[in-house]
Chain A
Amino acid sequence: MRRAVPVAVAVLALAFPALADPHPDARRIVAIGGAVTEFIYAMGQQDRLVARDTTSYMPPEAMALPDVGYMRQLSAEGVLSVRPDLVIAEEGAGPPETVALLKSSGIPYEEIPTGASPGGVMAKAEAVAAVLAAPDPGVVAALKADLGAAAAAAASVDQPLRVLFALSLQGGRVLASGKGTEAEAIIEMAGGQNAVTGFEGYKPLTDEAVIAAAPDVILMMDRGDGVIDLEAQRAELLGLPAIASTPAGKAGRVVRMNGLYLLGFGPRTGKAALDLHRALYGDG
């Protein structure tokens, strides 16, 4: 009987994702997770923030807040040290010991659901808005409209392009996004098709696998910090024999987008999907 309780709790938790409680009076908020922080800024509630985690570097103003550590490696004392009256954390924050301690400390801890999909990013937006309990300056509605426009644009594509997302080029080897990645999700939202489906996550591709993937377009991140010489990297990429023999290599089609914009699944995701769609298909 005693074992049945955790099972029942687990089943309930799966069936009914926890609804976020509103905290209109919270004035000392710690935001954990890049997208959560971006939503809070987009909704104009940044004055209520006192700290952020390492993954929260957008918008750039957020960098001025104290950093309580990487979101999966939080220190309980670090979070408590900023004397928060509310912690808003994206799902996956941890380690579990720290989260359990924070929850037991009496400070409200709100977990924001996450997911690399239009539904996932909408749920995230609605949960953040609900927790902040402040007038939303149209962020949720705008996101919904953008996602709708992207979906309509994607639906109009007859012949989806095969897109290979290259996270990096490690010594001439392409680190590509497989199934279940944020990159695959945004490619599909833009009306493309992930060229690499043989594995999950981000893994290095062999030359033969690159040729077999036969991408029409290669998508890469632009960190926008000027550290990587984009032209040199493009030349290196197109100079790889395996890449050169693919349709993308022959046509020289390399698309670059800012990493967090493309893969952040925050307030700008609908626009990112639309931008990617335009970059792929070149229409309005």
Chain B
Amino acid sequence: MVAIPEPLPRIEGSRAHLGRRAVLALALLTAVIALLSLGYGAAGTDAARTLWAVLTGAGGDATDRIVMLQIRLPRMVAGLAVGASLAVAGALMQGLFRNPLADPGLLGVSAGASLGAISAIVLGAALPAAMQAVLGWSLVPIAAFIGGWLAMLVLYGIATRSGRTSVATMLLAGIALAALISAFSGIVIYKADDDQLRDLTFWGMGSLAGARWTKLAAAGPIMALAMAASLRLARGLNALALGEAVALHVGADVQRVKRTAILAAAALAGSAVALSGGIGFIGIVAPHLLRLVIGPDHRFLLPASALFGGALLVAADIISRTLIAPAELPIGILTAMIGGPFFLWLLLSNRRVIDA
């Protein structure tokens, strides 16, 4: 028996108020952090002056212009997009699996994307020179996206029988598939030379340093589409939180919600990994913290996660590029170093809630 809490409307009413305010506050916070990020970096470029010079056509220093328009601005946009995508993909997975620890890794996306990227880094040099010239540096992102997407499709195929996706099968099959894919990655890694091994290591630690307008233009539409589809899932995921059977009874198209959530999460996580490599913990920390503050209502949780994820990643990127300037600390190290202890604290201070 699934117990539906009696005073549901009133709680939802009070939380909705909170949720709306949280989304507004987060929008403001994200905007402030994004603007701040334009002012920080190794080059010491003055953001306001440079932007003013660009807007008024006054020219200004050529290096400052490159730093602002070709480095910091695309980095800011990439940070917002990747952070938002990771957090929303995490929130979708947690809603779908009804487990606060779920993330797109359960869909095989991370393992598949790693295999794609590793293969591109190690075997890309064997491609014909003409193909390399055409693909250029987009080879690794494209391979990562395709790898993540393919792994998810295989898993979805395994878990879906006669039009019904079994979330439990997906979870278990995902573990087996991820192990298999990691084995393939191992084979490719064994073939790698020293330089490629270095590249692999850095790719796994993530970075926004490679953010360029061309990459963003390629990933942007996919992310925007998946984000729009995700935000429309809020009511379906809320219904699913009551359990599949109840969700069906209250009239939710459970299969459609599952399919859309899986496809959208894979698209979001896949493009995020393609843009920035491996960045951990945003997808778990951002939605989880918000759930504690504003509650589990996906109508507010999803947009709030998007904003908070973006703000967190841009803030981490500011630290990543200034801490050891002129060199950079890979951002994945920072998100894990901040996210790990934070998550432990979250667990410890909410033990009663979690154990219940």
Contact = CB atoms under 8 A, between A and B. Distances in A.
A79 B134 contact: no
Given A7-B130, A10-B129, A72-B199, A51 B63 contact: no
A81 B70 contact: no
Contact of A81 (B43, B129, B198): B43
A17 B265 CA distance: 46
Contacts of B325: 78, 81
A174 to B, nearest CB: 17
Interface in A118-170: none
Nearest to B61: A83
A105 B61 CA distance: 12
A6 interface: yes
A70 interface: yes
B134 A3 contact: yes
Contact of B133 (A10, A101, A107): A10
A80 B43 contact: yes
A101 B67 CA distance: 10
Contacts of A233: none
Contact of B326 (A68, A72, A92): A68
Given A10-B133, A51-B326, A101 B66 contact: yes
A107 B61 CA distance: 13
A255 B210 CA distance: 43
A10 B134 CA distance: 11
A19 interface: no
A146 B56 CA distance: 60
Interface string B117-155: 000000000000110111011000000000000000000
A89 to B, nearest CB: 14
A202 interface: yes
Contact of A78 (B42, B129, B133, B330): B42
A77 interface: yes
Contact of B63 (A6, A9, A80, A92): A80
A81 B42 contact: yes
Which of B43, B192, B209 has the largest count of A CB atoms less than 10 A from its CB? B209
Given A3-B130, A76-B71, A81-B44, A95 B62 contact: no
B193 A75 contact: no
Contact of B212 (A75, A82, A97, A106): A97
B41 A69 contact: no
B137 A78 contact: no
Contacts of A105: 62-63, 66
Contacts of B133: 6-7, 9-10
Interface string A107-120: 10000000000000
Contact of B328 (A10, A69, A201, A202): A69
Interface in B183-208: 190, 192-195, 198-199, 202, 207
B2 to A, nearest CB: 51
* Range for the number of chain A residues in contact with chain B: 35 or more
Nearest to A11: B129
Nearest to A202: B194
Interface in B211-237: 212
B67 A77 contact: yes
A230 to B, nearest CB: 24
B288 interface: no
B206 to A, nearest CB: 12
A76 B330 CA distance: 14
B132 to A, nearest CB: 8
B298 interface: no
A251 interface: no
Interface residues of B, number: 37
B321 interface: yes
Contacts of B42: 75, 77-78, 80-81
B326 A66 contact: yes
Contacts of B330: 73
B72 interface: yes
B40 to A, nearest CB: 10
B134 A201 contact: no
A68 B327 contact: yes
Interface in B27-44: 41-44
Nearest to A5: B133
A236 interface: no
A6 B134 contact: yes
Given A78-B327, A78-B328, A95-B137, A201 B194 contact: yes
Contact of A95 (B132, B210, B327): B210
Contacts of B72: 77
A245 interface: no
Contacts of B212: 97, 101
Contacts of A77: 41-43, 67, 71-72, 321, 326
A98 interface: yes
Nearest to B71: A77
Interface of A: 3, 6-7, 9-11, 14, 51, 54, 66-70, 72-73, 75-83, 92, 94-98, 100-101, 104-107, 180, 200-203
Given A67-B326, A77-B326, A107-B63, 16 more contacts: A6-B130, A66-B326, A69-B328, A70-B198, A75-B42, A75-B209, A75-B321, A75-B327, A80-B67, A81-B325, A82-B326, A83-B63, A101-B70, A104-B70, A180-B193, A201-B192
The 4 closest A-B pairs by CB, nearest first: A78-B326, A69-B327, A81-B42, A6-B133
30 contacts: A7-B133, A9-B133, A14-B129, A69-B326, A72-B199, A73-B209, A75-B209, A76-B209, A77-B41, A77-B42, A77-B71, A78-B325, A78-B328, A79-B326, A80-B63, A80-B66, A80-B71, A81-B43, A83-B63, A95-B199, A95-B210, A96-B136, A97-B137, A98-B210, A101-B71, A105-B62, A105-B66, A107-B63, A201-B193, A203-B190
